[in-house]
Structure 1
Amino acid sequence: MKYELIVFDWDGTLLDSAGAIVQAIQAACRDLDLAVPDDNRARHVIGLGLVDALRHAVPELMPDRYQAMVDRYRYHYLAGDHRLTLFSGVPQMLERLHAAGHILAVATGKSRAGLERALDHSGLRPLFQASRCADECHSKPHPQMLAELTAEFGIANESTVMIGDTSHDLLMASNAGVDSLAVTYGAHAHDHLTEYKPVACLHSVGELDLWLRDFA
């Protein structure tokens, strides 16, 4: 196989959550009487660690109010996260890759607690052998998450691929010296993703699965 280690982003790549994240950011801003970012600005920060995301989405927010913003964001996001669903075809794709012998991992902007909750709720935990989160590593696009995952399994960079729906995922892969695949059904638009020169840009989970069958 070409890619022994396949690393997935979570939100917007496996889980259909980009809209919920945008709405939670905007609702938290309203709660704190802050300027509400438009959809594009709020979507841009998906995949970053929460503090880095807030710095970009709400640049006027003072550091002493970060915790209040985080608390309100989590309040709104957690109120509906149990209703979020995986993109159609995700479980079957992951099961096939796992059965074929690929090592599967997650690199996400979620917190460890958030990812653990998502893994349990989705039922995908048995399919992943490792994960890295933004509250235990540098936030994307820093390469630490991918560097740690390749080191954990002793996998060469050329045998690793990062799959994500944002420029942060693709730039992290570039910074780590590994290939990337872009998916366009999540947070960032096709034209923005292609700027970061992924190996391929796929428009659905079905297309992604077919590409991985043929080339991974």
Structure 2
Amino acid sequence: MARKQFDLIVFDWDGTLMDSTATIVKCIQASAKDLGLPIPSRESAAHVIGLGLGEALQVVLPDVDPKYYPRMVERYRYHYLSKDHELTLFDGVHEMLQELSQQGYFLAVATGKSRVGLNRSLNAARLLSTFDATRCADETFSKPHPAMLQELTRELGQDLRRTVMIGDTTHDLMMAQNAGSAGIAVEYGAHPLDQLQACKPVFSARSVPELHQWLNENA
């Protein structure tokens, strides 16, 4: 059966499949507090989610001495590792991925996480065998550079014009634009709706079940 629009569906991880936005924000704030640095607001910490960790910390605290960034990375990882076992997928994610896989779509992940971090999360969520390919921020250019999508489509023999990127941040949607792919926003993650809408996604989902339904009917 011919697809309506897409052959490859690429998901962001944090804030899109995994309910981790609040935890990431708290860990960014805690890492700054540990080092006596200015503590970022919830909004500014949430805004850098999706970027590679080192880049995210430089963006959220641009005016501190650069010597602090490696120490912030260490403190962030300490706090996150103490909490990541508590994180869960959003309701409906397992069912959505299982159905899309059974329907024959290629499934992939493009994330700001490190390779070690993503593999740990995939293993904990029992999704290691679900995705056909994955890309992490420590393996290539960080979002919104199009490299992750370009590399995923090359690896899987797919067409960027028949690829959709699904994410909760403007970094995800801008990456899709830069790659010449479609973008779908999810409204339950890190970035506010008005910023997501400014990126002109083909759809904006208020929940995983709503995303699942749209993909069933339109993808």
TM-score, structure 1 as length reference:
0.99
CA deviations over 1:91-129 (Å, ceiling 9, x no partner): 000000000000000000000000000000000111101
SS of residue paired to 1:126: coil
Kindly state the Cα deviation for residue 63 of structure 1 after the two structures are TM-superposed: 2.2
CA contact (8 A) 2:149 2:160 kept: no
Is 1:127 the counterpart of 2:130 in the alignment?
A: yes
Map of 2:158 onto structure 1: 155
SS of residue paired to 2:165: strand
Is 1:65 the counterpart of 2:54 in the alignment?
A: no
Is 1:140 the counterpart of 2:138 in the alignment?
A: no
Please point out which of 184, 191, 197 is paired with 1:181: 184
Q: 195-204 vs 148-157, which deviates more?
A: 148-157
Structure 1 stretches of 4+ with a deviation exceeding 6 A read none
- Distance in 2, matches of 1:62 and 1:167, equals 28
- Distance in 2, matches of 1:101 and 1:62, equals 50
Map of 2:217 onto structure 1: 214
Map of 2:204 onto structure 1: 201
CA deviations over 1:73-97 (Å, ceiling 9, x no partner): 0111111100000000000000000
- Distance in 1, matches of 2:215 and 2:65, equals 44
Map of 1:55 onto structure 2: 58
CA deviations over 1:31-67 (Å, ceiling 9, x no partner): 0000001000000000000111011111123222221
* Structure 2 residue identity aligned to 1:32: L
Map of 2:39 onto structure 1: 36
- Distance in 2, matches of 1:118 and 1:39, equals 23
Please point out which of 3, 6, 11 is paired with 1:8: 11
Q: 5-14 vs 148-157, which deviates more?
A: 148-157
Map of 1:46 onto structure 2: 49
Q: CA RMSD in A?
A: 0.7
CA contact (8 A) 2:10 2:164 kept: yes
* Structure 2 residue identity aligned to 1:176: A
Kindly state the Cα deviation for residue 178 of structure 1 after the two structures are TM-superposed: 0.2
- Distance in 2, matches of 1:118 and 1:3, equals 26
Kindly state the Cα deviation for residue 152 of structure 1 after the two structures are TM-superposed: 1.0
CA contact (8 A) 2:53 2:113 kept: yes
TM-score, structure 2 as length reference:
0.97
Map of 1:22 onto structure 2: 25
Kindly state the Cα deviation for residue 194 of structure 1 after the two structures are TM-superposed: 0.3
Q: Show the 5 A alignment for 1:76-91.
A: 76-91=79-94
- Distance in 2, matches of 1:102 and 1:169, equals 20
SS of residue paired to 1:114: helix
Q: How many residues are paired up?
A: 216
